[in-house]
């Protein structure tokens, strides 16, 4: 049988388990980063199994270059195969070998350098946005304790606080004026970073045909399209649009037994960031559908769902439909062609 190497990745110490037969570990090694690269390099063509975690895509590209077959497994599918009650590197490496035997566990696709660059821009922008939101909420909460209420809307925060500081509002203690001004400067700087990231992302994906095709779908903008291309990779690894929507956590969670079938709320599995982008895009389509006179079939459908189930449920249902449309247009290499609603003809 071919040589199989399971690797528990780390920053500096790597746990390696070598196997030639299912369920059998022939050799174990604990290697440094340099020693690990040398060990795998000296091995003949083999299968290298790793969890899809930090640095895993870098190592897979290195292994492909020297003729190995790297396999990335989802960490949440590997965890149940750790028979040892203790969480150790040795137990994790053995669990990788056991999980690899289950053919129902689908490997994670290997990302290219370009895909990871796009994904990195998204993550950086998302981190800056979270920090900006935290700063804004902190300013609102602190100033409310002194009887100063900032109007609703993030665009009012820096302007209002700066105006109070310039006017030397007596309600603001002098001890915190400098810190409040520094927080306002931090918000302005974070917003500049976010705009820079958005401009760089637009430039990076401007000529990508997959992004152009996905942007023909209602509710899919440049950020959603580029994130799909970077994180999902190849849509053809999913059997259908429903499988793709399930991968994004947009399908109902099922608890069924015998003849009794129960569907609950969405599973919320998969990438949280992608799901958030699609749901926000669906909300934008829903708001636009209320004002449109030339409605397409998808607009009429989501308005009917909203009338029956409310705004939030209809937005998530539309995000599910957008995900299925994205899979169809992307995998078939066709632009989205909207169908006209019957009442509009």
Gap between the Cα atoms of 81 and 97, Å rounded: 9
Q: Which two tokens stand for residue 277?
A: 């982008």
Gap between the Cα atoms of 48 and 71, Å rounded: 6
Domain identity same for 143 and 224:
no
Is the model's pLDDT at 341 over the cut of 80?
Answer: no
Gap between the Cα atoms of 43 and 3, Å rounded: 9
Residues 6+ apart with CB under 8 A from 180: 139, 142, 143, 161, 165, 172
Rounded (5°) CA angle 102-106-112: 140
Domain identity same for 227 and 334:
yes
Gap between the Cα atoms of 53 and 48, Å rounded: 14
Strands (E), 165-268: 252-254, 263-266
In a domain, residue 105? The reply is no
Residue 343: predicted pLDDT: 53
Domain identity same for 118 and 179:
yes
Residues 6+ apart with CB under 8 A from 253: 263, 264, 265, 266, 267
33-71 in b/e form (b: 16+ CB < 10 A) is: eeebbebbeebeebbbbbbbeeebbebbeebeeeebebb
| CA-only gyration radius of the chain, Å | 25
In a domain, residue 108? The reply is no
Domain identity same for 34 and 144:
no
Residue 102: predicted pLDDT: 92
Residue 345: predicted pLDDT: 42
Percent above pLDDT 70 for the chain = 98
Domain identity same for 143 and 166:
yes
Domain identity same for 234 and 331:
yes
Domain boundary among 183, 205, 227: 205
The arithmetic mean of pLDDT across residues 118-131, rounded, is 95
Return the SS3 of 258.
coil
Q: Quote the mean pLDDT of the chain.
A: 91
Domain identity same for 260 and 246:
yes
Domain identity same for 68 and 133:
no
In a domain, residue 107? The reply is no
Predicted confidence (pLDDT) per residue in 30-56, tens digit: 999 999 999 998 888 999 999 999 899
The arithmetic mean of pLDDT across residues 291-311, rounded, is 89
The arithmetic mean of pLDDT across residues 66-78, rounded, is 93
Q: How many domains does the chain have?
A: 3
The arithmetic mean of pLDDT across residues 169-196, rounded, is 96
Residue 295: predicted pLDDT: 80
Strands (E), 34-148: 47-51, 69-73
Domain identity same for 228 and 297:
yes
- For residue 328, count other CB atoms closer than 10 A to its CB: 16
Q: With CA atoms as reference, report the closest residue to 120 among 175, 50, 54.
A: 54
Residue 2: predicted pLDDT: 80
In a domain, residue 106? The reply is no
In a domain, residue 338? The reply is yes
17, 94 Cβ separation under 8 angstroms: yes
Return the SS3 of 57.
helix
Q: With CA atoms as reference, report the closest residue to 270 among 294, 250, 252.
A: 250
Percent above pLDDT 90 for the chain = 74
Residue 155 CA, distance from chain mean position: 27
Read off the CATH number of the domain in which 67 is found. 3.30.420.140
Burial of 235 (0-12, 13-18, 19+ CB in 10 A): buried
Domain boundary among 175, 190, 205: 205
The arithmetic mean of pLDDT across residues 4-29, rounded, is 91
Domain identity same for 119 and 179:
yes
- Residue 342 pLDDT class (50, 70, 90 cuts): low
Domain identity same for 232 and 198:
no
- The distance in angstroms from the start CA to the end CA of the chain is 64
Return the SS3 of 8.
strand
Domain boundary among 153, 184, 205: 205
68, 47 Cβ separation under 8 angstroms: yes
In a domain, residue 162? The reply is yes
Q: Which residue has the tokens 């308005």?
A: 303
Classify strands 69-73 and 252-254 as parallel, antiparallel or unpaired.
unpaired
In a domain, residue 66? The reply is yes
Predicted confidence (pLDDT) per residue in 192-233, tens digit: 999 999 999 988 888 899 999 999 999 999 999 999 999 998
Domain that holds residue 135: 113-205
Gap between the Cα atoms of 27 and 7, Å rounded: 12
In a domain, residue 77? The reply is yes
**What are the C-alpha distances in Å from 34 to residues 3, 37, 150, 190, 315?**
21, 5, 55, 38, 50
User: Which of the pair, 114 or 85, is modelled with greater confidence?
Assistant: 114
Domain identity same for 45 and 153:
no
Residue 284: predicted pLDDT: 94
């Amino acid at each position: 049988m071919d040589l199989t190497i399971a690797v528990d990745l780390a920053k500096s110490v790597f746990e390696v388990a070598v196997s030639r037969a299912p369920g059998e570990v022939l050799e174990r090694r604990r290697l440094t980063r340099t020693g690990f690269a040398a060990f795998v390099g000296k091995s003949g063509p083999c299968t290298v199994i790793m969890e899809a975690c930090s640095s895993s895509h870098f190592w897979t590209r290195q292994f492909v270059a020297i003729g190995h077959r790297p396999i990335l497994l989802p960490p949440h599918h590997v965890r149940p195969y750790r028979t040892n009650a203790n969480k150790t590197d040795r137990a994790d490496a053995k669990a990788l070998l056991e999980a690899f035997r289950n053919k129902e566990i689908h490997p994670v696709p290997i990302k290219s350098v370009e895909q990871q660059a796009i994904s990195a821009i998204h993550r950086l922008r998302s981190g800056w946005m979270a920090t900006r939101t935290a700063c804004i909420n902190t300013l609102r909460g602190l100033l409310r304790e002194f009887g100063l209420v900032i109007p609703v809307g993030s665009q009012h925060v820096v302007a209002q606080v700066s105006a109070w500081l310039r006017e030397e509002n007596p309600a603001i203690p002098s001890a915190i004026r400098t810190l409040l001004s520094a927080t306002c400067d931090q918000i302005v700087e974070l917003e500049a970073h976010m705009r820079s990231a958005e401009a760089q992302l637009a430039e990076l994906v401007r000529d990508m045909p997959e992004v152009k095709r996905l942007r023909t779908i209602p509710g899919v903008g440049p950020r959603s399209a580029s994130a799909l291309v970077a994180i999902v990779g190849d849509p053809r690894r999913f059997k259908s649009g429903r499988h793709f929507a399930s991968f994004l956590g947009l399908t109902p969670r099922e608890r069924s037994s015998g003849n009794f079938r129960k569907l609950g709320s969405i599973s919320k599995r998969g990438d949280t960031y992608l799901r958030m982008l699609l749901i926000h895009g669906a909300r934008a389509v829903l708001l636009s559908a209320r004002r449109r006179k030339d409605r397409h079939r998808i607009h009429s459908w989501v308005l009917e769902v909203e009338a029956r189930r409310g705004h939030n449920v209809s937005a998530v249902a539309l995000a599910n439909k957008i995900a299925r449309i994205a899979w169809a247009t992307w995998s078939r290499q066709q632009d989205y062609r909207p169908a006209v609603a019957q009442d509009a003809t």
